[in-house]
Structure 1
């Protein structure tokens, strides 16, 4: 049980990881709901998150009436705050509705969430899991297959029936769609098709990259970051570098956030951002007779920065200042960029 009257975001995260193994998880669920109702959350925007966690705990203990009540409250909290993170809470609510015999309502809820499959990488997992819980795995397979086709058609340069999108975000979205589709088709006993083969291939590539990181590739994967004034100067001097670092500062930050998330998912710890400057890159190029636009020169500059002070630890706490230096909280700044 929480030991403080006010629950912080960090404490909620800790509870998510430990609540199900606690001696009295239902007591924790009730405490979370009370904290949300009584305004005992350090960050009021965590209300939906706390209630969703309460609903998950209650569902896991088959207390479905309480779980549905908490899920209803979580969805309403997200709607009241205009928070775009309501998708998981709504899918959880649908899952519970299936379990209490209200399948038509559950399917209607998930049908409204279906467009998220082509917009949010995590939607493939929570929508398909809810459909599975309601015995609707065949529907999940149909929806995921259609979403894969949409992403391939709209966000890729076709090179065959299983073309991989060229943008980093589209590639990530496609990967999660393929992964969940592959899982559902395997559970249904369906024969492998081209997209199942692509899912296997992407999974193998991801595993290979993770092994390379584990083997000692850390120094070559440290993200190189340019603060806003430095980024503007960088692309003004060397316009070709927009291909490597982004067309503008927002894209630059989004690329780095997604790269850091991928590294963390691959098992990397102690992640940090290397803070670069145009003069630093230019000076390194001059000392090494290199070209700032050459990948080898930029990699060498990043390697040099690793041994210097000024590395920015990642990730910051959700409520702390964002690593990019914007002055905004991380949860309102670069954290959402990993989902964009």
Structure 2
């Protein structure tokens, strides 16, 4: 069995040595190394790695950069540097209103510092702001709720942990989760975030539509890592029966038709739902010693499993 700390060192070494297929994956490599080290309670190493990861994301204000900084705060809490950790998270707090996954990684970081009450406060304010922005109408379903759905889910989870009685926002969270469950697993999971492009298809895709690297990653390695992290995130919300939707450039082009735009998220979400109704879906997760879902031929535990943010 591979030594996890050895895997972390290899990831960091590859990033340091410029050995990654895409140098822009350096931040992700350092973050994965930090998470592995943290999971083995090697907090000094975790902090060194995550500092390098945050530096690699310098100049970016997207959710990946935010997740790296939240991880740094989580490690800072664990080494007793609480004031620094809280200051970091305060700066990241506005991300709750911008990115669906921010609710999960910010509340996880606060939980590491025993600040579940702070997480509840922040999530409650973010939920109220999102509800005020959309007006009085209750979301019809999770898709209609958008980012609000993720805020409600995470707030509901945090409140359950700290033993709060249900309020109106908790009831709304449960109604939306029930609607999601009632649509069926395949339909619920069938969205653009779970479209998987093999290496050959990925290369054709980004050659034809370079702008899609913003959605799927700037390299195939980053594409695989994003999918693994998204699947882990969904599994963490209690989802089961998760599947990847293997797409092809030809299939996307056919679905878009002559007048459609394959770069439009609505087109790609529609294509994902079409794939979910067919065959050839890839179940996740595979066995640790089984073949990796990405088709690399390597074992899952040595291929995409270490890419997880879990």
TM-score by length of 1: 0.57
- Cα pair 1:88 1:126 within 8 Å, conserved: yes
1:135–1:164 CA distance, 2 compared to 1 (3 A): same
In structure 2, the gaps of 5 or more residues are 193-210, 216-229, 261-269, 279-293, 295-310
SS at 1:107's partner residue?
Answer: helix
Q: Which runs of 5+ in 1 are unaligned?
A: 1-21, 224-249, 255-260, 281-298, 308-316, 318-340
Cα distance change of structure 1 residues 182 and 61 upon mapping to structure 2, 3 Å threshold: same
| TM-score, structure 2 as length reference | 0.62
Alignment map for 1:129-278 (pairs within 5 Å): 129-154=108-133, 156-159=134-137, 163-164=138-139, 168=143, 171-211=145-185, 213=187, 267-272=242-247, 273=252, 274-277=254-257
Secondary structure of the equivalent of 1:79?
Answer: coil
Question: CA shift at 1:208, angstroms?
Answer: 1.2
RMSD: 3.7
What secondary structure does 1:85 align onto? helix
Kept in 1: contact 2:141–2:176 (CA 8 A): no
Distance 1:110 1:279 in 2: 45
Which consecutive segments of 4 or more residues in structure 1 shift more than 3 A?
Answer: 80-84, 165-168, 211-214, 261-274, 276-280
Tell me, in whole angstroms, the C-alpha distance in 2 between the residues paired with 1:48 and 1:92. Answer: 12
Counterpart CA distance in 1 for 2:86 and 2:259 is 57
The 2-side partners of 1:118 and 1:165 are apart by 20
C-alpha deviation, 1:85, in angstroms: 2.1
Relative contact order higher in (CA < 8 Å, ≥ 6 apart): 2
Q: Deviations over 1:72-123 (max 9, x none)?
A: 0000000057766211110000000000000000000000000000100000
Deviation digits for residues 274-296 of structure 1 (CA, Å, limit 9, x no counterpart): 5243689xxxxxxxxxxxxxxxx
Distance across 2 between alignment mates of 1:149 and 1:206: 22
Cα gap change, 1:171/1:100 in structure 2, threshold over 3 Å: closer, same or farther?
A: same
Query: Which structure has the larger Rg over C-alpha atoms?
Result: 1
